[in-house]
Structure 1
């Protein structure tokens, strides 16, 4: 099956520091693929490079057979590629509904916007209850739901989730991972960066393990769980 999203020999640098060193990956339609690794392994830098938030030093990113390397971030959501960033980054002084509308900027059809609202509110009923509330007054878990909901408003084919469970209570973490499976069932392809390795391996179809900006292993969850390489990737960073 042809890759929906892929990268070849991707390099990302911050000044003299090379954060991503020749990473290659591919994601096929309908998959949940995870990037795993300790803090500083380069996971978020890859996500930001894919979406044009940081420049690539070299390498290539392909989406649906098109070269999107270095594309402006605002051009990617209309084409079906959306990022839900680490740290939620909701607009605290805007209402829940207005935050969601910010994610629908690529939709010009009023009916499409209303359908997107309906989908998000079905996935997250609490957001419907709080739709007129300022986003800054929501709990951490509710803000994460809002961040994911905002990313879904553009009806992406591929959704990039950067640390979706970070700082959340265990019950909310369970809900977030249930959501990931539900989105896959709705034909959304997902790339997930996550520190919660156990939960991630329960939902991912495949994963890439990164150390110091390089892929050191890749495979299915069962293969990685039995591998000492993944354990070393975390323990070696402590």
Structure 2
């Protein structure tokens, strides 16, 4: 498989605190890659750095063979990479349809926007039912669907999901991971930061385990599920 995203020696700092310490990884086209580790391990900082939401202290990020290390965030969605952020961050005072339209800000073709809406509404029928409802009045699960739907509006080649199951009921979590598998089947490559380790490894092809901003283990999801390094990454932090 061809590498869609390649990262070399990525470091991210917040003042004197080094959150990510010179990590290397790649994501191949058509796969689901899980990023695992305890709170504060550097997982979300890594995703945020990929889309320019936090500055890269050092290192290189290549997407589709092109160096995008210093690209501004607004240029990444048109290039084919989008982030569904931790905490959903929907615009509560806007309608569902208006939130989705925000995800298609880079698309000028009206027909393409309509096609994107149709795709999202087919994936999430409840969003179509509530398209005129304020996003702030949706349930947590529906807001997560909206956050993912908004990210899908630009038809990304690579979708980054940051804690997609956070705060959701078990039944809804199952639906979220079913969706992740479905999107991969539809040709979307996914990188998933997730605290629900068992669910993440069930759908992922490969994974990386982070601890204190460094990758301490990587490999096939089935191998990582039995890894002592994975247990240590969580137990050590606890």
TM-score norm. by structure 2 comes to 0.99
* Residue aligning to 1:7: 7
SS at match of 2:155: coil
SS at match of 1:236: helix
Q: Deviations over 1:91-143 (max 9, x none)?
A: 00000000000001111111100000000000000000000000000000000
SS at match of 2:210: strand
User: How big is the shift at 1:227?
Assistant: 1.3
| Partner Cα distance (2:129, 2:32) in 1 | 30
Contact 1:61 1:69 in 2 (8 A): yes
**Unpaired segments of 5 or more residues in structure 1?**
none
| Partner Cα distance (1:222, 1:92) in 2 | 39
Contact 1:210 1:233 in 2 (8 A): yes
* Residue aligning to 1:21: 21
* Residue aligning to 1:201: 201
**Unpaired segments of 5 or more residues in structure 2?**
none
| Partner Cα distance (2:156, 2:226) in 1 | 33
| Partner Cα distance (1:168, 1:70) in 2 | 34
* Residue aligning to 2:189: 189
SS at match of 2:200: helix
User: How big is the shift at 1:4?
Assistant: 0.3
* Residue aligning to 1:62: 62
* Residue aligning to 2:168: 168
SS at match of 2:168: coil
SS at match of 2:69: coil
User: How big is the shift at 1:221?
Assistant: 1.4
Contact 1:6 1:25 in 2 (8 A): yes
SS at match of 2:165: coil
Instruction: Map 1:44-63 to 2 at 5 A.
Output: 44-63=44-63
User: How big is the shift at 1:226?
Assistant: 1.5
* Residue aligning to 1:41: 41
Runs of 4+ in 1 over 3 A off after TM superposition: none
Aligned CA-pair RMSD: 0.5
* Residue aligning to 2:88: 88
Aligned pair 1:30/2:30, yes or no? yes
Contact 1:49 1:70 in 2 (8 A): no
* Residue aligning to 1:129: 129
* Residue aligning to 1:113: 113
| Partner Cα distance (2:174, 2:223) in 1 | 23
User: How big is the shift at 1:2?
Assistant: 2.8
Q: Deviations over 1:37-57 (max 9, x none)?
A: 000000000001000000011
* Residue aligning to 1:74: 74
| Partner Cα distance (1:169, 1:220) in 2 | 28
Kindly tell me the number of residue pairs found equivalent between the two proteins. Answer: 238
